[in-house]
Structure 1
């Protein structure tokens, strides 16, 4: 704003200068005589607390305005012309003459006060006052401080925030007596070993910076009458970390498709490149795709991640094997062998990196005992072969991408014959009976049998039947079993005794048992006949005593051939008793070897002394 001057009457300028010069001379003279005697002028400031945009009035106290012609106000402590704000005239005409330090906001009053409107922070400082009078020569001065509102808060950084480096955030604002505080998100900032505040909390330092420090930070500035705030988004740059390649599969079939993905934690997102066997660049994307894989594409695939903000990079490699699927699994070797010999079976297949596993039936075969496997499991050796080793064998071929099983390999084991077994084991026979022997021997294939008696072959089958045995059939009967595949034979001998019939040979055979039974029956019958005879004789004796001396004829059914003549002394009295058994009512079954004739009469001789 330009300087404003009060209205003045015509001719006032020359008279004013004349009056001013006269007043100055008089004032100088007065000061020479009174300066040392008058104390400084006190200045009252209202209001006492000054804020930016307010108005203030500086009023000198204790002045006798009637003796004053004018009063001057200066900006600063030096009262020179270049610092004068204005001169306010009291007589003969009230008016204000602005000086070089006038800003357009300062006005004078008839009481010589200074009013400053719309205070600025720059208005803070010293203001000096001097009255002009022939009798007053003292001056006054005061200081004012204008407090500014907290505004224009800003947060500045020290540059890019990179992980593991030091990051500084500085908070500034306009205003007076400003204090500062920080928030992270909506919570108070927690300081610690890595995070610190300094310079009246204006400076926030991260040392070292972590990716986890990324967040919104707010700085609050405040004084006794105002406050302001601003926010800052801290973006910590980091990475790339070591890349991760997926999927986690190393083996692929020939002709299949390969897709690999590479990811690395990074801010900003990393840039990716792929290379094969660390020699050739393939693709510049995070995903690598190869169609129709071939064997020569087995090798190391490397993913490299690069961060153009941190200027850092990292890499990871993944090994890939391209394999052919397992097929045509086949077992070769002898399908027939002989027990106790050695057998070798070999498994072959088409495919890459095939591992082999052997089975007999559903049982897995492992190295140990009579079974041995080669280092690659392709060859199975059985030494010696047992008959239990016969059966179906299968070979399983497996690699990382497939598996296949051979068709069953049927192994035949020839064995035997074992020692023949002759049955029954009965060794005693009576003449006229039959000999029926059976011979068996465990063997594969079944053996051929030969019966030998007295060094002569008497049969070529497992069964031997001889009817109507005679004493000449006594001897050793040999069963010989022969296996044409193993070219082995085994013999077993059974000694047979043939005895004259009906006398049963000793021993616990069926003929002896039958003879014992018959003997017991005959003994019981003999005892019964003897009792009957004695009872009859006693009855005859009693009859002779009561009858005449005539002969009594024998009654029918009585024993025949018994006389009453007493034996001569010294001779034995022999009595005969005849027992008759009907053929249709035998006393008991008789053995087949001794069959009684019909109406057989069995004599029993009893000697009586």
Structure 2
């Protein structure tokens, strides 16, 4: 039950080739790993039928001398070859950290120069799980949920089963837990079945801290200047939060992102700027949002005209009459 983290790779030369199903494998200490290769060679050379005389895996080589893993004392009793037609699988049991190395497959035929090694080989990493728990939390108007996901330093195959503990009691067997409600007193940790001696650090403080904060509205929006927003003026919307850890801010208008800053400023306001503005606050343990409605009021407009009186021709000192006539524009508020 190994884990492939890279695509198959073929090494070839003059009709001889070795293909590894993966060139990088990560497994847990104490487990078993299978490393597989397939190989090919010419069916015949100069009318001489090709046969394989020897095939083996190795990690040690010096001056053309290769040490078959089956004869390596470091692997005594732990190595097995599973050979089929033009395919070889190396199985190593009871893996140790010292087994971390580059493993290569070599085969030798009856042809002159008919020897080939798949080089580079397969890099095996043996390690402890180094488990961590990722916390995701979503808070909405109608629903709130929390999801805990267990991660290993090795990308594990389906062969491995995760084990969850809630307040010290076994709670589940998937790599994640999902809750609609979670208590501020709960503590969680995870491990891998068969490796229960190694557990993740427990998570409780980050969940609890965010849980308590969510009991009150932790996101607020203020508009400056306060009061009526007049057409042609400037306005700043400020989003505030007491989220812990520190959060990132995103502003939306009609479901479109308009800013990723804490403050959003509009200059030369028009009626088109009116509407709902939503601020979303998000950190590694959750998210929350709030909406503010912005109303833009039009300036009162007047249409005015000037009317001049007629002077008295007989009296040059008679003043001219001036009249100012005004009426309101049709629209006042938007």
Which bracket does the TM-score occupy, shorter chain normalised? 0.3 to 0.5
What's the TM-score once normalised by structure 2's chain length? 0.39
User: By percentage of residues, which structure has more strand?
Assistant: 2
**Higher gyration radius (CA):** 1
**Highest RCO, 1 vs 2 (Cα 8 Å, sep ≥ 6):** 2
Structure having the higher helix fraction is 1
